[in-house]
Structure 1
Amino acid sequence: MSELRVGAHTSIAGGVSNAVDEQVEYGGNCGQIFTHSPQVWDHGSIEDSEADAFREASEANDIGPWMIHSSYLVNLCTPKEDLRAKSVDSMQQELDAADRLGVPYVNVHLGAHTGAGVDGGLANAGDALDELDVPDGVTILIESDAGSGTKLGGQFEHLAQVQSNTAHDLEFCVDTAHAWAAGYDISTPEGVAETFAEFDDVVGLDQLAYVHLNDSKHECGTNKDEHAHIGEGEIGYDGMKAFVNRTVEEGVPMALETPTEDGKSFAWNIERVRELHQE
C-alpha cells in the first residue's frame, strides 16, 4: 500500500523554514506554501540561509514533497499584454524560488480568458507558459478550477488542451472542492471512481501530481468555491473517504486548504484524513 502523504498550507512568516515547524505541529508530512503575499506582485527575497534551513528542516522531519502556490494575481489566459507580462515574471520568480528551496512543484491557476474565449484563453496560457525557463527538478502544476465566470480549468478537457498548447511537460493538481463546484460528483465511491476514470481518459492519471483536499460548503455544479472541513461539507464523509483512499492508492500527496473555524484547524483535518485512510 502506498504511503499516506498529507499536509496543510503553512505560513513562511518569520522565515520560510518556519513553514516546516508549523507542518510538524499539524502532524503533516507534505504541504504547500506561498513564497510571498499572494495578493501582491512584489516577491521580496529569500535569504540563502533561510533556503538552506528550509531544505534541512524538511529532510530532517521527512516532510515532502512541498508545493509552492503561485500568486492569485497570475492570469495565464489573459489577452492583456501587461497582465500577461506580470504573470510570466511572477511565475518565473516562483520557479526560481522552488529551485532554491528544493521544492519540486509550482502550482498555478490558469486564470480567466475575459472575453478571449475558451480556445483563445487556453492558447494564451500555452504561449505564456512557453516563455518560462523551468529549472531542472521543478514541474509546473496546473490546478483544476471551480469554473466561475470566464475562469478556465474547471473541465478536465481544459487541462488536457493547455498541455497540448505548450512545450513544457506539465502535471496537474486536482482540487476536490473545485472539481465538485465544476460539476464532478465525488460524493459517493461510485462518483469518485467515475471521476478518476474520466481524468485518466482525458488527461492521464500519470499526470496527477498533487491533490488539494477540501470539502465544500456548496452544492455540486454551482461553481461556488468555499471550502469546508473534511467530511463535513456537501461532498461528505463517504465521498471524502473514497477520494482519500483512491488518492493514496495512486501514490499522490494531498495538501489541505480547509478553514479554521468551529474549533477545528489543520491538525483536526489532517487527523480526519488519517482516520479515513485507516477505515
Structure 2
Amino acid sequence: MKIGAHVSIADGVHNAVERQLDVGGNCGQIFTASPQVWKGPSIDEDEAEAFRERTAEQLDGPWLIHSAYLVNLATPKDDLRAKSIDSMQAELDAADTLGVEYVNVHLGAHTGAGVEQGLDNAAETLDALDVPDGVQILVESDAGSGTKLGGEFEHLAGVLDRSEQDLGICLDTAHSFAAGYDLATEAGVEAAIDEFDDVVGLEHLKAFHLNDSKHASGTNKDEHAHVGEGEIGEEGMTAILTHPEVRDLPFVLETPTEDGKSFEWNVDRARTLREDA
C-alpha cells in the first residue's frame, strides 16, 4: 500500500525522508517553500542529492510537490497569471532537481469570468509552462466554494481537454465529498469512481489526498478530519482504500494534528481499515 503524509522540509529538504519514515509513510508530499508567499524554492545540490538518495533507498514513492496557495491558474488577471506561471515553473524545476514525479496544483478561481473562461485561462496558463521530462502536473479536485473550479469532475475533464500538457489528476477525498460526491458509503464510492471514469477517465487519476471531512457532503466546506472519524467515516474510507480500480495509487494524508492524533495515527488507521476489510 502506498501511503504517506505531507511532511515538512525544515532544515533541508532531505530531512523530509526521515520525517516520512517517522510517521510510517512510504510516499508523500512536500512544499518546497512557504505556500502563502511568492517565494520560490531554494534547494542546494547537496540537499537535492541527499533527498534523491534517501528516497531511493528508504521509500517506495512517489513524492508530490504541492504548489503555493497563491497560484491561480484560472484567473483573468494578467499580473496574477504571470506570477502563477513563474511560481509553477519554479516548482517544476525543483521537482526535476529532486527527482519528484508530480507537482500538484488547484485550478483556482475564475473570480467572475465564468466557468468556461476560467477553464480556458487555466489551460492557457498550464500551456505556458515548460514541464521537464519525468515530471507531471496533477490538477487537484476542489471543494467548489465560490468561483473556485475543480469541484465538478467536468471541470477536471475540461482543463485536460483544453490543455496541450500531459496532465494527471489528484482527487482529494474531503474536497470531492464537500463538493457533493457522496463518498460515505461503499455504493457512493463506487458511483463516484464510475462517474469519474466516465467524465475524466481513470487513466488520468494518479494520486489521492486521503482526508476525511468535518462537514457534510455538498456543503463546499473544506475542513479535514481524521481518517474514518469525519462525515465520510469508516465505510467510505474503507471503500476508497480497497476499491480495485484505485487501491494501488498513492494515498497522501493532509489530516489535522489534534485530539492527540497526528499523521502517524492516520497512516496506521488507513492501513488498519484496509487490512480489516
Task: Compute the TM-score of the two structures, normalised by the length of structure 2.
Answer: 0.98
Deviations 1:57-101 (A, max 9, x none): 111112410000000000000000000000000000000000000
Unaligned runs of 5+ in 1: none
1:57 is matched with which residue?
54
Deviations 1:181-208 (A, max 9, x none): 0000000000000000000000011110
Cα displacement (A) at 1:5: 0.2
Which of 153, 163, 167 is the matching residue for 1:166?
A: 163
Q: Is the counterpart of residue 142 in structure 1 residue 139 in structure 2? A: yes
**One-letter code of the match for 1:54?**
F
The 2-side partners of 1:247 and 1:195 are apart by 14
The 2-side partners of 1:266 and 1:250 are apart by 20
2:78 is matched with which residue?
81
Work out whether residues 5 and 248 of structure 1, in 8 Å CA contact, stay in contact via their aligned partners in 2. no
Work out whether residues 8 and 257 of structure 1, in 8 Å CA contact, stay in contact via their aligned partners in 2. yes
Cα displacement (A) at 1:277: 1.1
Deviations 1:147-191 (A, max 9, x none): 000000000000000011110010000000000000000000000
Cα displacement (A) at 1:251: 1.9
Work out whether residues 29 and 64 of structure 1, in 8 Å CA contact, stay in contact via their aligned partners in 2. yes
2:21 is matched with which residue?
24
The 1-side partners of 2:202 and 2:41 are apart by 36
Work out whether residues 156 and 199 of structure 1, in 8 Å CA contact, stay in contact via their aligned partners in 2. yes
Which of 233, 237, 244 is the matching residue for 2:234?
A: 237
1:129 is matched with which residue?
126
Q: Is the counterpart of residue 269 in structure 1 residue 266 in structure 2? A: yes
2:6 is matched with which residue?
9
**One-letter code of the match for 1:84?**
R
Q: Is the counterpart of residue 208 in structure 1 residue 210 in structure 2? A: no
The 2-side partners of 1:44 and 1:23 are apart by 20
Q: Matched residue pairs, number?
A: 276
Cα displacement (A) at 1:249: 4.8
The list of structure 1 runs, each at least 4 consecutive aligned residues, that deviate by more than 6 angstroms after superposition, is none
The 1-side partners of 2:139 and 2:244 are apart by 17
The 2-side partners of 1:71 and 1:17 are apart by 20
2:101 is matched with which residue?
104
2:190 is matched with which residue?
193
Q: Secondary structure at the match of 1:261?
A: coil
Q: Is the counterpart of residue 41 in structure 1 residue 30 in structure 2? A: no
Change (3 A) 1:247 1:183: farther
Work out whether residues 160 and 203 of structure 1, in 8 Å CA contact, stay in contact via their aligned partners in 2. yes
The 1-side partners of 2:246 and 2:35 are apart by 32
1:116 is matched with which residue?
113
| Overall identity of the aligned pairs, in % | 65
1:72 is matched with which residue?
69
Work out whether residues 240 and 246 of structure 2, in 8 Å CA contact, stay in contact via their aligned partners in 1. no
Q: Secondary structure at the match of 2:243?
A: helix
The 2-side partners of 1:152 and 1:95 are apart by 22
Change (3 A) 1:113 1:249: closer
**One-letter code of the match for 1:209?**
K
Moved more, 59-68 or 190-199: 59-68
